A and B are shown apart, each in its own frame.
Chain A
Amino acid sequence: MLHGYGSTILDGAWLTLSLALTSMALAITLGLLGAAFRLSPLKWLALLGEGYATVIRGIPDLVLILLIFYGGQDIVNRVAPLLGHSQYIDINPFIAGVGTMGFIFGAYLSETFRGAFMAIPKGQAEAGAAYGMGRLQVFFRILVPQMIRFAIPGFTNNWLVLTKATALISVVGLQDMMFKAKNAADATREPFTFFLAVAALYLLLTSVSLLALRLLERRYSVGARLADI
């Protein structure tokens, strides 16, 4: 298949998928933190959350990837000797890639989550408090499950953009499916064959996740009357 380059492109597709999923896990964590910060009554926490969302969303992904990967390495190079490590410490490109993508999309998700939290009627949290739940209990038992329902449409958007943005990550030497396709296109001088093949793979990946997220949305809408939303 594909002049023999098919299996290496599938390897790349697997890397793309694991990169996207791991980055999304990190992005969800950072997004929840960011949203919680922005909604916090503490002024400095709210400012911190706002700064994160504003700065990261305002810089192109590619610039951030290069800054974090090469700039981060430069910082490690400078700091390690001060801590008594004479050896060169290499930042693994996968970890750097996940860190960068997670950091970027955490900023976008924090806004999605913030909007979703704000869509929950105030009385819900007050009722939780009236039952004697602590702040964290109210957050995880009352707010998060309802927030997910409101967040899923925005979340779906972010997931699709993140999946496609992984194609940028090959600049740090990660061999995702776009990188493998480019290699094959250069070696065989048949660019369209391979770019069409990865286009189909991206479309497959995004279509399957759209279906999965639709099921999830249905699951989290159980008990909610559509007319209320």
Chain B
Amino acid sequence: MNKIALLGALALSVASSFSHASQDSLRIGIEAAYPPFAFKTPDGAISGFDYDIGQALCAEMQVKCQWVEQEFDGLIPSLKVRKVDAVLSSMSITEDRLKSVDFSKKYYHTPGKLAMKEGTQINDPLVDLKGKKVGVQRASTYDRYASDKFEKAGIEVVRYASQNEAFLDLASGRLDATLADVVNIDEGFIKTDTGKGFALVGPDFNDPQYFGRGAGIAVRKGDEANAARISAAIDAIRSNGKYQEVQAKYFDYDIYGQ
């Protein structure tokens, strides 16, 4: 018995810090490499939409956020071995991930949008785009949607290996429009020099059958307590205006979706 105790003491001395899993702190894993959702400022602090939403959620739940930085690949393993209690890092809720972790309700779901020449009016894309050329990234969710809906409506779909190539062809006039994630279009095109004179137009594309369920906050499988209180906090900051406040810092459009 003594030997086991000694072995235990040895094992414990290797572990350098005891983290008291108390009620009033929540360890959140994040990868700070996805601006504007999460990135590092020059002084080394984490910043971005994900971070601010996390701070707002913790304030709402009256717990202390402890941010743990990891690479994206390390986030789910860290969650599983209890290095963190939640992952808030623009993680899409997918069937594959649901096999190993649980999710809160979504905290954002960026819709697809069309990028076209500034001033273009699109009410019903399936009617207004007839006979036009629309670029999508090959094998993306947008490609699946365009192949199903656009081609039947007589819209020519052009597929590209990367979304950046579609942006370049739109800028050079070879395309009339491109369909992609709203943040991707805004950050990767409209806010750059190549994207001058172009704008986000038309309705949001957010059919869940094609575009999934948005980004959620991952918790350990079976951790219903945390999933429920995080989901409740998301509802609370949506209705008290905190969410909109954070959103306005980074985006001038709604990213929550429907």
Contacts and interface: CB of A to CB of B under 8 A. Distances in A.
Interface of A: 3-5, 7-8, 11, 66, 70, 73-74, 76-77, 79-80, 83-85, 87-92, 95, 170-173, 175, 180, 182-184, 186-187, 189
A129 to B, nearest CB: 36
Contacts of A74: 80-81
Contacts, number: 96
Interface SS majority for chain A: helix
A149 to B, nearest CB: 35
A90 B15 CA distance: 6
Given A88-B21, A90-B19, A183 B11 contact: no
A38 B83 CA distance: 37
A78 B87 CA distance: 22
B239 interface: no
Nearest to B34: A186
A181 B61 CA distance: 34
B77 A3 contact: no
Interface in B21-64: 21, 32-35, 39-44
Contacts of A173: 68-71, 74, 78
Interface residues of B, number: 35
25 contacts: A4-B43, A7-B42, A8-B40, A8-B42, A70-B80, A70-B81, A73-B82, A80-B12, A83-B4, A83-B12, A87-B18, A89-B12, A89-B15, A89-B19, A90-B19, A90-B83, A91-B16, A92-B17, A170-B71, A171-B73, A171-B74, A173-B69, A180-B44, A183-B33, A187-B35
Given A87-B21, A88-B21, A186-B39, 17 more contacts: A3-B42, A4-B42, A5-B42, A7-B42, A74-B80, A76-B15, A77-B81, A83-B8, A83-B11, A87-B19, A172-B74, A173-B78, A184-B40, A186-B32, A186-B33, A186-B35, A187-B40
